[in-house]
Amino acid sequence: MSGSKCPLRSTKSIECMVSGNHKRSRKIGVQTLLNGLKSQQIKRAHTISVLVVFTCILFYVTLIEEQIDDSDYNTKRGLVAVVLTFLLFGVTQTPDGVFRRPHPAFWRLILCMSIVYELGLVWLLFQNASDARSLMKHFDDKLGVPLPEKAYGGNCLLYDPNATDPFHNIWDKFDGFVPTHFFGWWLKTLILRDWWLCTVISIMFEVLEYTLEHQLPNFSECWWDHWFMDAILCNGLGIYLGMKTLNYLSMKPYQWRGMWNIPTYSGKMKRFALQFTPYSWTDFDWRPLSSLSRWIAMLCVIAIFLLAELNTFYLKFVLWVPPEHYLCLTRLAFFLFMGAAGMRETFQYLDDPNCKKFGRQSWLTLIIIITELLITMKIDWQTISKPLHLIFRYFGSLDS
C-alpha cells in the first residue's frame, strides 16, 4: 500500500491494515465529534458571556461615559436601554420556538420583540387621541399632523380617447404598492401554505375594501383595480408563485450536515447560505371540513388574518402616519416573521392531538391584533362607526 510502512501479503500486514483503518476511523470519529461540538457551541445561548459583556457595558455607562444634563435625552435613552435589557434577557433565557433557522436566537428575539410591541400598544391604549398622535413625533418630527387629502379612484375609464395616452388611468395605478402586493402575497402563501385559504382571504379582503371605502379613502378604488390589478394580477400571481415555492420546498431534499463537516470553502459558503432556508418542511392540511370545531377554527383564522390586514390601514389612518413611512414598512416586515411562527404554532395546536397548549407566538400575535383594533376604536370611533353603504344595509335587511 502506498504511503504505508506495512509489508504486503503477510499476517502482520493484515494486522497493520486493520490497525490503520481503526486509527483512521477513530480520527474521523473524533473529528466528527469536534465538529458537532462546534455546531452546538454556535447554537448555544452563551448566557454567561452575554452577562459578562452586558455588565461591562453598564460599568462603562456608569463610571466612564460622560454624563449629559438633558432630561429628554436621558429619558429616551433610558427607555431604549430598558427595552434592550429585556430583549437581551429574553434572547438568552426564553425557550426555543418552532423554527431553528437561521438561528433559534432569532426567533426568540421575535418573540421578545412581540412582547415589547404589545406592551407599547397597551400603553398607547391608555392615551387620548391627541397625545397618541403627538407621541408619533418621537419617531419622526414630521408625524403628528393630519394627512393631506388625496383623491382615490378618480377616473375609472380603461380607455380614455381624449387623452394623449388613452391608457393613462391604468399606468397611474402601477405605483410602488404593486410589487408590495405581489411579494406580500407570495410571503403570505408561504405562511398559510394553502391555496384555497389564501384565495378566500384575498377575495374577502377586496370585498371588505368595497364595504369600508366610506370609512377609509384609500379603499375607494376602481372596480378593475380591485378585481384585476389586485385580486387577479398582484395577489393571484403572488399566490401562484407561493404555491410553486411550496411545491419546491416540499420536494427538495434537506441536508443537515454541519458546516464544519464540509472540507471546501465553497461548500462552507453554500452551507452558510442554506442556513437561511428551512431546516425541514411541513405541509399544512387545514382540513376545514373534518369537523365542526375545525370549521369554526378556520373561520377564526380567516377573521383574525383579515383583521390584521385591516389594522394596517386603520392604524396609519387614525395615527396620521403616511403609507410610505418606515414605521408602516417595519410593522409589515415584523408581522411577517411574527405571523410565520404564530401560524406554524396554530396549525400544530389544531392538527396535533398531543399539543394541548396554545403557542406563545400565536397567543402574542392574537392579542396584538386585538389591541391594535381597540386602539383604532378608541382614537377614531367616529370613523369606524360610520354606517355601511345603503346596498349592504339592503342585503342585510333581506335576512330579517
pTM for the complete prediction? 0.81
* CA atoms of 23 and 17, how far apart (whole Å): 10
Going residue by residue through the chain (400 aa), what tens digit of pLDDT does each one get? Answer: 444 444 444 555 545 554 555 555 454 444 444 444 444 555 566 789 989 999 999 999 999 888 888 888 899 999 999 999 999 999 999 998 888 888 899 999 999 999 999 999 999 999 999 999 999 999 999 999 998 877 665 667 666 666 676 665 666 666 667 788 899 999 999 999 999 999 999 999 989 988 888 888 888 777 777 788 888 888 999 999 999 999 998 887 766 666 667 777 776 777 767 777 777 788 999 999 999 999 999 999 999 999 999 999 999 999 999 988 999 999 999 999 999 999 999 999 999 999 989 999 999 999 999 999 999 999 999 988 888 765 554 444 444 4
Retrieve residue 40's grid coordinates. Answer: 452546538
Q: Pinpoint the alpha helices (H) of 136-226.
A: 168-173, 177-192, 195-211, 223-224
pLDDT score, position 345: 96
Retrieve residue 365's grid coordinates. Answer: 400575535
* CA atoms of 384 and 285, how far apart (whole Å): 35
Burial level of 369, CB count in 10 A (0-12/13-18/19+)?
Answer: buried
Region at 152 (left for phi over 0; alpha for psi -120 to 50; beta for the rest): beta
Retrieve residue 96's grid coordinates. Answer: 426555543
Contact between 320 and 136 under an 8 Å Cβ cutoff? The reply is yes
pLDDT score, position 256: 64
Contact between 185 and 234 under an 8 Å Cβ cutoff? The reply is yes
* 200 contact partners, CB below 8 Å, separation of at least 6: 302
Contact between 6 and 13 under an 8 Å Cβ cutoff? The reply is yes
Collapse the DSSP code of 112 into the 3-class scheme (helix H, G, I; strand E, B; otherwise coil) and give the result.
Answer: helix
Burial level of 26, CB count in 10 A (0-12/13-18/19+)?
Answer: exposed
What are the two backbone dihedrals, phi and then psi, of residue 214, each rounded to the nearest 5 degrees?
-80, -15
pLDDT score, position 166: 60
* CA atoms of 127 and 138, how far apart (whole Å): 15
How many H helices and E strands in the chain? 16, 0
